[in-house]
Structure 1
Amino acid sequence: MNVDSEGDATQNFSVLRSEPLHEAVVRIFSLDPDVALYVGGEETIGMDDTAISLQLRQGTIITDHRIRRVRKPVIYLFPPEPMEAKVNLSLAPEWQFDILYPNAPIEESWKGTSIDGRPHHSVSWTVDAEPNGNLWDKESNTKVSYLFWEAKPSPTWSRFGSPRTPSAFSPLNSVCHPENSVLLFAEESASYLDRALRAMGLHTEAVTSFITYWLPCFVKHTYIALRFVPQIGFEEAAPLEVEPTPDVVTRIFMLFQPVMVAQLDEWTQASDRAVKDPSFWREVVGIDIEKQKDPSLFRVVEWGGMEAVAF
């Protein structure tokens, strides 16, 4: 059989006719367990379906529809002296929280909801923060290095439409373009990210965690395009409030997508941009690098990312 994977060429694979087909495809192609699979682009493959139950034959085309997920945003707090802080994170109605750590109750608010009638998700943590970044979450009595969250699109939200402003970030519609991204050979992406993230002021642990989390996703492909989202746009999608008010907040969110070899001629502008000094991302994201590196200030840092899979 063949899998027509979003963003990639059609790939051949073999399975036992009696084994669960969804589980086999997820395992073979390292897909998200929540991926939707279709036969001929129409019939959904259920968790218990097999090649026998679906009466599939050699050469059958299976297409995958990957769910866009906001992957591993983590929030660091660096106060100049020990303090108690409250962190409030909200989501625009097209998002919903998927995973939190430390765990915290998710609240729903209908204030200012859209015509689609979806509530806003929000969550709060109260922590004792230390200058070295250690956090003590009071609700769970857990000591952590950062606050972790992931999100996915709300299931009934429309996939169409545009972000609210030109700089806005939409979990459903934002993609990479040759004019706003860099094109990288996937196996060389770690070196570029190391330079770009350090230029944006991330400390060594954050740089290492970012790269080691995303590198396995990159090397599944030969070429990738990536960009960093303006903070002002990401703030519209995921408003963050910290009390007491920080002196500086740095939110670094990456968007990436695979680029097929046959498409490389369309990405020459992004390829040229990739050889430039990556410090230009500071201006794109909106980073005050002097404040970000000043240990006498109360600094909040966040990083995360998403693969811009097609719908």
Structure 2
Amino acid sequence: MESDQKALGDECRATLIFVKTVTGKIYTFENVELINTLNYLKSLVQEQTGIKIEKQRLIFNMKEMKADIPIKDYGIKNENIIYLVEKVHPESHANPANQIELVTCRGDYVLFTDIDLNLKVKYFKYLIQEQEGTPVEKIRLIFAGKQLEAEIKLKDYGVKYGDKIQLVLRLCGAKPVIYLYPKEEIDAKVSIHLNDGDFSFVYPSFDEDNTWNVKALPSGEIVQIGKKIRYLFWETLFYPNLNMDKGFIIKGDDSVSFFEDKLKSMNLNDAEICDFVTYWCPKLCGYKYVKVCFQFENFDEMCPMNVEPKPDNINRVFFAALPLDSPCDIEPQELPTFNRDGFTVIEWGGTIVPQK
């Protein structure tokens, strides 16, 4: 009993804590009783910094601390450093001189006001997390064609007020499947290269270096090590460069008829359309509205495919779906009609862009 009380006393004793702002300024707080909740510490921070409690985000060990949890529960010890990030609310009006414009993968433009250009990228990501709800670890920032590294200051990348920074999220490229239709039975190598991502699942397993070695039949049947399959499956976690400027706005309930029509117009066959619809439409039909944008050249750049012997046609269908609460205007997208003469490869897949 005495040992338990001693341990509790040690855990809750008054402690020296440092609070460091994103600009590097350090505030010292002495005799902080760790048994108190975080709101107690926030009130102390407000007294010293003038930052209101509701505008404070306190970060320890890369995790945001919650207001109603005792400070001791975060494992904080004497002379630990807690990071303070002030919540910034973007404005919707025109871009004034003291703002940075963030371009999201949804096609939205978010303005952050009064950003200190001495801010390190990692702390700017915390501000984005606060506004967008996207975990810091899923955020990638691009400026002037360069990825922004966490420990570098915004100004060191040449960022100025009024500039635009692109936000790229780590998304799942779900169920791209590959069909092979040679004119005669052949031995084929099919390779997928990810320029910026990782494979989360493949089936069957690669034989070598992101490559399947298979036998392909004119019927569309694929044989790998004696196993007969209909298609090659791969899935990725990647940072896609999506073009959401042109596309279609549909009701979730209309997803089956929409994709049946569009895929047929692109010259996919009934079996391929059935595979697509039965995989994707159950995921989309529950949304009120969906913005659908097909990706073509940019998907080839993100995830190049190589097939040997060289096919006459490689036709890849990859779409991005953004769930919406209400419809919006968008310029309709022109879709190709694929050629299937000769040795043809067909692939389809997609990704769902998270709502804010």
| More RCO (CA 8 Å, sep 6+) | 1
For the pair 1:72 / 2:175, whether they are aligned, the reply is yes
Change (3 A) 1:173 1:298: closer
1:53 to partner: Cα distance: 9.8
> Separation in 2 of the partners of 1:53 and 1:200?
59
Counting aligned pairs with the same residue, the percent is 29
Residue 129 (structure 1) aligned to one of 189, 200, 216: 216
1:220 to partner: Cα distance: 2.6
Residue 89 (structure 1) aligned to one of 192, 195, 208: 192
What residue number does 1:160 align with?
Answer: none
Q: May I ask how many residue pairs the two structures share in their alignment?
A: 206
What residue number does 1:102 align with?
Answer: 204
- For 1:167-246, list aligned pairs within 5 A: 171-174=239-242, 176-177=244-245, 180-230=246-296, 232-246=297-311
> Separation in 2 of the partners of 1:221 and 1:189?
10
What residue number does 1:7 align with?
Answer: none
Change (3 A) 1:224 1:245: same
CA contact under 8 A between 1:175 and 1:308: conserved in structure 2? Answer: no
Unpaired runs of at least 5, structure 2 = 1-56, 74-129, 139-169
CA contact under 8 A between 1:226 and 1:255: conserved in structure 2? Answer: yes
What residue number does 1:268 align with?
Answer: 329
Richer in strand (by share): 2
> Separation in 2 of the partners of 1:269 and 1:243?
39
What residue number does 1:150 align with?
Answer: 235
Tell me the TM-score normalized by structure 2: 0.52
Q: Secondary structure at the match of 2:219?
A: coil
Counterpart amino acid of residue 278 in structure 2: T
- For 1:18-37, list aligned pairs within 5 A: none
| CA RMSD, 1 decimal | 3.1
Change (3 A) 1:301 1:53: farther
Between structure 1 and structure 2, the one with the greater Rg is 2
What residue number does 1:24 align with?
Answer: none
1:89 to partner: Cα distance: 1.3
CA contact under 8 A between 2:184 and 2:217: conserved in structure 1? Answer: yes
Unpaired runs of at least 5, structure 1 = 1-39, 46-50, 56-60, 108-122, 154-170
> Separation in 2 of the partners of 1:41 and 1:73?
40
Counterpart amino acid of residue 217 in structure 2: E
CA contact under 8 A between 1:176 and 1:257: conserved in structure 2? Answer: no
What residue number does 1:12 align with?
Answer: none
Residue 321 (structure 2) aligned to one of 253, 256, 268: 256
